[in-house]
Structure 1
């Protein structure tokens, strides 16, 4: 079964008001669509969001298309959002593009601060191509990966490797210029520098190998690229 990882870029005219808020404000760090029912109107969705709940809710209250919503706190700074909404024409067209017999959208769908949404879909090649062709013309669509589906990026990391990469990222180890070194990462992991270095190198090697699996197609809406 073929798998695609896609980046879909909205314009100022097509972006949802809440996604626009994610792009323009530092109040939200992550917004993930976990599940949705788009067969009825209004449509029903479940999101996971990390950030300032009050600021996020203030934006929700200003969206006329929302029929109802409910927020449930999660661990840390996260919360779940259950929402029912009458979708705009562009959003409806996106949903309908992937409503094909063999096509499955693999959650979560990420809404990012660069006006893009990123998602993984699997299915038969001809129907995936039809889905790409049915996406609205005003959206820029990039195919980041084509290959066999084997889970999402990071699937091959051990728990300890994932912990090491998360600690390094949080400390600024991967920033340019680097904000923290191996000493800080090792301290966060409660291990020696050599151990921290091995964990990061092995995790990075696996992530690079995953990134290079399959075929990276580029900006054209075609699986033949």
Structure 2
């Protein structure tokens, strides 16, 4: 088995309106797809969004093919999204691209303001290549790294979480005694203190979980 990290870029015709909002609105920072499935042309997803709920809900309500949704604020600068939508042509084509026998998508999938989606896949090399080759027109994939499937553990951290950890490390947030504070980290990242805290706590939880799992396997 191999793992690959993909950077997927959408054109204007294939980008989902909610992702467009992430790119265009200063009130929405990131969206992370935590779980998702497609069945008979209907996609069901659970996401976490960093930002304000109001503009996201307005965009969601105006989106064609939306069947139902539920938004739940977390109280720390973000909210969860449960939504069911009918897939369009590009969505169905993308679903077929991922429908390879050995492919596993490692969550979360990150939607970024630079009009890209970042995700990690695990599978046989031929199925990984088939997935990339079958992406529909208007959606281009670039491989940022290839490794053994154990390296996909790194893919469990989003790029934004890794960025937050790097800034926190560089500013002495993890020094003993601590030299940097959360406010400094938040200021450098250009986000609120609450959002910075959430990013670091989620990243730390993933790293601890992975370390404990590795210890159990060893």
Relative to the length of structure 2, the TM-score reads: 0.71
Residue-by-residue CA offset, 1:123-174 (whole Å, 9 max, x unaligned): 001111111111113322110011112202587xxxxx998635368xxx6x
Written as runs of structure 1 = structure 2, the 5 A alignment for 1:168-187 is 186-187=179-180
Runs of 4+ deviating beyond 3 Å: 161-169
Give unpaired runs (5+ residues) of structure 2: 183-218
CA 1:31 to 1:65, structure 2 compared with 1: closer, same or farther past 3 Å?
A: same
- 1:188 paired with 2:181, answer yes
SS in 2 for 1:127: helix
Q: Distance in 2 between matches of 1:22 and 1:54?
A: 13
Q: Distance in 2 between matches of 1:120 and 1:6?
A: 6
CA 1:163 to 1:44, structure 2 compared with 1: closer, same or farther past 3 Å?
A: closer
Q: What is the match of residue 69 of structure 2?
A: 69
Residue-by-residue CA offset, 1:29-81 (whole Å, 9 max, x unaligned): 11011111112332211011110011111111111211000011224011110
CA contact (8 A) 2:72 2:80 kept: yes
Residue-by-residue CA offset, 1:169-220 (whole Å, 9 max, x unaligned): 8xxx6xxxxxxxx9xx82417xxxxxxxxxxxxxxxxxxxxxxxxxxxxxxx
CA RMSD of aligned residues (A): 2.5
CA 1:23 to 1:121, structure 2 compared with 1: closer, same or farther past 3 Å?
A: same
Relative to the length of structure 1, the TM-score reads: 0.69
| Structure 1 residue 86 displacement after superposition | 0.6
CA contact (8 A) 1:31 1:48 kept: yes
Q: What is the match of residue 166 of structure 2?
A: 165
Q: Distance in 2 between matches of 1:164 and 1:69?
A: 32
CA contact (8 A) 1:9 1:116 kept: yes
Q: Distance in 2 between matches of 1:162 and 1:56?
A: 24
Higher helix share: 2
CA contact (8 A) 1:27 1:56 kept: no
CA contact (8 A) 1:44 1:85 kept: yes
Give unpaired runs (5+ residues) of structure 1: 156-160, 174-181, 190-225
Q: Distance in 2 between matches of 1:64 and 1:26?
A: 23
